[in-house]
Structure 1
């Protein structure tokens, strides 16, 4: 369902009345901003940008996907992703391969070097993830992640 098709109506409440500390998009942006900042030093050591790191992370789980799918999963605009992939390919971390079913489409695969780079980054990603959930019990974490999954389903534009 697209946001504009949402069954809920605008209630004329202002952001000031809601408050930033009660506005979920603001909180999510702050959380992701801190997560990304926590990753900067480790990414810099590997010569990676945030779009490159996200691409390696997605490919570590969904190797060989189409570029347009990678853009969605990595939450990166396709033009930015294209530049990131150019650098990753030049550095030997990914390889492009034409899709066997559609000559216009390209699939992206991690190379052994790309997988090794991600494996060096993963412990830091995991530590930052765990830090976000410090003091939150397993049931609360599971409920939160379930809520995020429902929210994504409500607003996503793709079937994946």
Structure 2
């Protein structure tokens, strides 16, 4: 691979795994999730449940379809996770005021407490990923990821 060759015309073998962003992003997220698995298990959380609580700690009362987008979780997996979270008293579902067919998800105080217990581990895992990377470089990288998401997203959120 040389700098003159358009990447879209190259085969994966020519690019190499260590130069292929989707591979690197999958590896990073796989390691990130694995680093949280033990702490999550201790709280009775799976990755989909953790993602839902994380989003709900920041985004107030999203519709279920919005939550599926934010959590990058397919609707059937999210539905099962929400059933479990609701049974555990960590979330509740409410009918949308504007559309009675739509359902919003609300984090409960118990859900917020569970997420607050997990957050330090999540923050440490995030910090480990950026160890040795200057803040300016981290900000530029996150900005690049935001642009990439805009390039490929199918939803407004």
**TM bucket, shorter chain:** over 0.9
SS at match of 1:64: coil
Moved over 6 A (4+): none
SS at match of 1:57: helix
The structure with the greater share of residues assigned to strand is 1
What is the CA–CA distance in structure 2 between the aligned matches of 1:17 and 1:102, rounded to whole Å? 51
Shift of 1:13: 1.0
Where do residues 3-152 of structure 1 align in structure 2 (5 Å cutoff)?
Answer: 11-152=8-149
What is the CA–CA distance in structure 2 between the aligned matches of 1:11 and 1:117, rounded to whole Å? 44
TM-score, scaled to structure 2 = 0.95
Q: Which runs of 5+ in 1 are unaligned?
A: 1-8
Q: Which runs of 5+ in 2 are unaligned?
A: 1-5
What is the CA–CA distance in structure 1 between the aligned matches of 2:131 and 2:98, rounded to whole Å? 46
Shift of 1:63: 2.3
Compared with structure 1, are the counterparts of its residues 120 and 101 closer, same or farther at alpha carbon in structure 2 (3 Å cutoff)?
same
What is the CA–CA distance in structure 1 between the aligned matches of 2:101 and 2:116, rounded to whole Å? 31
Compared with structure 1, are the counterparts of its residues 11 and 50 closer, same or farther at alpha carbon in structure 2 (3 Å cutoff)?
closer
Residue 136 of structure 2 is aligned to residue 159 of structure 1 = no
Per-residue CA deviation, residues 46-105 of structure 1 (Å, 9 max, x unaligned), is: 010100000000000002110000000011001100000000000000000000000110
TM-score, scaled to structure 1 = 0.93
Count residues with an aligned counterpart.
Answer: 152
What is the CA–CA distance in structure 1 between the aligned matches of 2:120 and 2:7, rounded to whole Å? 42
